[in-house]
Amino acid sequence: MHIALYGRPVNLNQVELAEAVFNLLRQAGCTVSMHAPYYKFLHQHLPTIGDLPLFESHGDLRKGVDFLFSIGGDGTLLDTVCLVKDANIPIVGINAGRLGFLSSVSRETLPLAIESILKGHYTLDARTLLRLESNKPIFAGENIGLNEFTLHKKETSSMITIHTYLNGEYLNSYWADGIMISTPTGSTGYSLSCGGPIIVPQSESFVITPIAPHNLNVRPIVVSDKNVISLEVEGRSQHFMATLDSRSVTIDNSYQLAVRKESYAIQLVRLNNENFLNTLRKKLSWGLDTRN
C-alpha cells in the first residue's frame, strides 16, 4: 500500500509525531512518499528516514497513491485539497493541533488508527467543495475550497458593501466587515464563530454568513448548494481581502465573483468508531455540565 505524507514544514513540535507515523507505516510494509518541502524539513531533524519518493503537485499524487496522511491541524488538512483535487485519494487527518474537527486521529489513537485503515476498517465521508469563479485570474488557478470563501475589508478601513445574488436574482446588500460562504464542513469553523449555524455534511447546502453586519436584523442564511452565489463588492477603500480556506489575496472592486459547488468531492477517512455527531459532542463539550 502506498501512503503519501503531507505536513507544513514549520513546527518542530510535530517532528516526533511525524517520526511515529513514518515508523508505523514502514513497520506495516507500506510504501511511503512525502511532500518535498516537508521531507526537506524533516530530514534535517530525522536523517534516519533516508531517501524517499517525493511529490510536489497534483500530477505527482495521481500515480498510485492509496491514502494521503495530513500531519498537523485542520489548516494543514485544508492545504491537501489542492493537491488531491479530483484524484479521489482518501485523506487521513492526524491531529497535532488542538480542536481538530477534520484531523480526527490523535497521537494516542495513532497505532490503532493506522492498523484499522490498513485493514479496511473505515468509512469514506464525501465532503462538498466550493469553486470560486471570477472575471480575472485569482488564487493562481487553485480556486477550490473545502471550508469557505470570504470577502473582508482590509485592515482598519470602514465597512464594505457586498451585493449578493442567487442565480442572478438579487438577495441582499450586506453592509458589514465582510461576508462568508461556507460548505457544511466549514460551518463548524469561521462561520460558527461569526454566528452561523452548524450544518451536517450531507445537507447539500451553503451558508451565507455576514461578518459583523451593520444592520443587526441581518442573519446567516442557508441555501441549496445548487445555487450560484454572485458577489459584487464596494467600499471607501479600493482594495479588499479575499480568502479561500487558508489562502488569501488582495483584490479590488473590478473583480466579479461567483461561488458554486464543485463537480467532485473530497474523501475524508472516518474510522468506524467515529461519526459527525460524536465529534460535535466531543469537540464542543455538548451534554457536559461545565459549571464549577
Please give the grid coordinates belonging to residue 111: 497505532
Grade residue 245 by pLDDT with cuts at 50, 70 and 90: very high
pLDDT > 90? residue 209: yes
Say if domain 130-261 classifies as CATH 3.40.50.720.
no
CATH fold for the domain made of 2-128+265-284: Rossmann fold (3.40.50)
Q: Give the residue numbers annotated as catalytic, written as ranges.
A: 74
Helix (H) / strand (E) containing 37: helix 36-45
Report pLDDT digits (tens) over 52-89.
999 998 988 877 899 999 999 889 999 999 999 999 99
- The structure's pTM equals 0.90
The residues, ordered by sequence, that sit 6+ positions from 139 with a Cβ below 8 Å of its Cβ are 132, 244, 247, 249
pLDDT > 70? residue 145: yes
* Phi and psi torsions of 34, nearest 5°: -145, 145
Section 248-266 average pLDDT: 94
d(CA 56, CA 235): 39
Q: Is the dihedral of CA 56, 62, 63, 64 positive or negative?
A: positive
Report pLDDT digits (tens) over 86-140.
999 999 999 887 667 788 888 888 999 999 999 999 999 999 999 999 999 999 8
The residues, ordered by sequence, that sit 6+ positions from 120 with a Cβ below 8 Å of its Cβ are none
Residue 292: per-residue pLDDT:
62
Report domain extents, the chain.
2-128+265-284, 130-261
Residue 291: per-residue pLDDT:
67
* Phi and psi torsions of 139, nearest 5°: 55, 30
144, 81 contact by CB (below 8 A): yes
